[in-house]
Structure 1
Amino acid sequence: MASNFQTFNFETQIPQELLISQIMQIHATISKLESLRPSKQVNTLLNHLVKLCILPSSIDIESLPQEVKTMRESLIPLCGKAEELLELEFSTFISLTPNPIKNLTIFPYYGNYVKLANYETKILKENGVMHAKKVAFIGSGPMPLSSIIMAMHHMESTHFDNFDIDEKANEVASKIVASDKSLEKRMKFVTQDIMEVKEKLGQYDCIFLAALVGMSRGEKVKILGHIRKYMKEGSVLVVRSAKGSRAFLYPIVEENDMVDFEVLTIFHPMDDVINSVILLRKPKA
């Protein structure tokens, strides 16, 4: 299976036709699998897909043929499901170890989360967001690494509310956090659809929106509008997006999707971090 794939390095820009044909080949295989639970085959396919998507490429998703766009719309939820199952497996395992917080580093993409947190912290600081009292993380999942890394290394006195629609995800995530008493005091898990959270959104100085909350463009725009309506004036929203070939893994948030926000920063990483970071502010009336 894997022998059909060519390998490239960060220096070479992969030809667009080759990139697309390899991604379509992976999609064809992934979509036929009975389960997306972690296994040798699933892990190999996803690792290869990630490696392809972070190669330098000048691909523009909007200009791709319809058949490729349709494939991408099917690929993103498949990758999202596989990511969720991978997180659930690792978080369940880690929650049963003697010191879960110390064992988070065994998660395969831990290093990526550390780099992303560094980028986001730098962006927040550059835009004057230094001492957020309360932060909401929307779509924290079973392995809330972003919140944990932020809380332990960048926002050491901030209170975090993690919102996720999946009760099982919150259950296993809170077990990990409960192993560190000082962290547990500052971190809560809330099982709720963010579209049902209203006035409470006005409590936060800073809100993070995970990349996979709102898979389609329509959903994402609706969620952004809802958050904007209820968040407090002058507070900021960190939105994770994707650019170029990374958009085969995650949805794109376009500038005209961010109606009535002040766009402070749009950052596209050039390394192995997949998500772009957009910093928005709700203007004061």
Structure 2
Amino acid sequence: MVCQEQEALVNKVLDLYHKISTLDTLKPSQDVDTLFTQLVRTCIPHTPFIDITKLSTTVQEARSDLIRLCAILSQHCQAVPTKIAFVGSGPLPLTSIVLATNHFPNTTFHNYDIDALANSMAKALVSSDHDLSKRMVFHTSDILDVSHGLNEFNVVFLAALVGMKNEEKKKVIDHLGKYMAPGAFLMVRSAYSARAFLYPVVNPSFDLKGFEVLSVFHPTDEVINSIVIAQKCPIISTSSKEVESVFSNNNLLINGNMIEELVTEEQL
């Protein structure tokens, strides 16, 4: 039974590989979006286990070429953000640190927190790293009092504990939606099922007015926070399919290790 499942998975990957390899281009499109989404969803499950060292030469060659195609695809993904904001960064801004260190070495991170002591501790934490300290900016402000400059951020993170009650959380999201730039991404921490006893819940269907929800991730391990990825709707919405394609082309990021790094900070 296991061997049959393994064979079926390999055959499905090969079928997708042949379809992808015959595409005229890997630039964002409906075909590219659909095929790579299917590929990622096929390969993500841990079972059945595939030992790549035991694959045939033909499959190994297809695998190598598929990796090459994935690399080409990544070149067509959206440009790396130049400025990211984190609202509710706290005294231990691990998300900003991890992203700045491991993923976006040329991006500036603006960290907002209402607590001056928390910002002081966070600033001291990164002060010993010359490069990191230059790219980590700390603002002691209530985000509801901030309007100027929010439209400059490509991505805004909203911590789970900003807005403890639903109406408070929604008020913050509405404020961000008012001042963020059209097309900018909002990444909101939430909670699911019994984990809602520990952190506030964001309802993607009702709490994100003015945003298009692109992805919702509920961890199944010891990580508590879920994450909702949304995009502020353009003033003239004429490219919804393009938006979906761009974000789908980042499926390797959304479904991979990076998303796990983004949901752990407030549990430490």
Report the TM range for the smaller structure's normalisation: 0.5 to 0.7
Q: Does 1:279 align with 2:229?
A: yes
The offset of 1:234, in angstroms, is 0.6
Equivalent position of 1:146 in the other structure: 95
Separation in 1, partners of 2:198, 2:128: 32
SS in structure 2 of the partner of residue 160 of structure 1: strand
The one-letter amino acid paired with 1:214 is G
The offset of 1:180, in angstroms, is 0.2
Equivalent position of 1:48 in the other structure: none
For residues 1-285 of structure 1, the aligned pairs below 5 Å read 128-255=77-204, 256-285=206-235
How many residue pairs get aligned? The number is 160
- CA offsets, 1:188-243, max 9 Å, x none? 11000000010211110000000000000000000000000000011100000000
The offset of 1:155, in angstroms, is 1.3
Separation in 2, partners of 1:130, 1:211: 27
The one-letter amino acid paired with 2:128 is S
Separation in 2, partners of 1:278, 1:155: 20
The one-letter amino acid paired with 1:233 is P
- Structure 2 length-normalised TM: 0.58
Equivalent position of 1:34 in the other structure: none
Q: Structure 1 222/129 Cα, relative in aligned 2: closer, same or farther at 3 Å?
A: farther
The offset of 1:130, in angstroms, is 4.8
Larger radius of gyration: 2
- Structure 1 length-normalised TM: 0.55
- CA offsets, 1:40-60, max 9 Å, x none? xxxxxxxxxxxxxxxxxxxxx
Separation in 2, partners of 1:129, 1:258: 23
The one-letter amino acid paired with 2:139 is V
SS in structure 2 of the partner of residue 156 of structure 1: coil
Equivalent position of 2:6 in the other structure: none
Identity between Structure 1 and Structure 2 (%):
48
SS in structure 1 of the partner of residue 195 of structure 2: helix
Separation in 1, partners of 2:112, 2:189: 16
The offset of 1:129, in angstroms, is 4.9
SS in structure 2 of the partner of residue 257 of structure 1: coil
Question: Which stretches of structure 1, 4 residues or more, deviate above 2 A after TM superposition?
Answer: none
Separation in 2, partners of 1:170, 1:238: 21
Equivalent position of 1:109 in the other structure: none
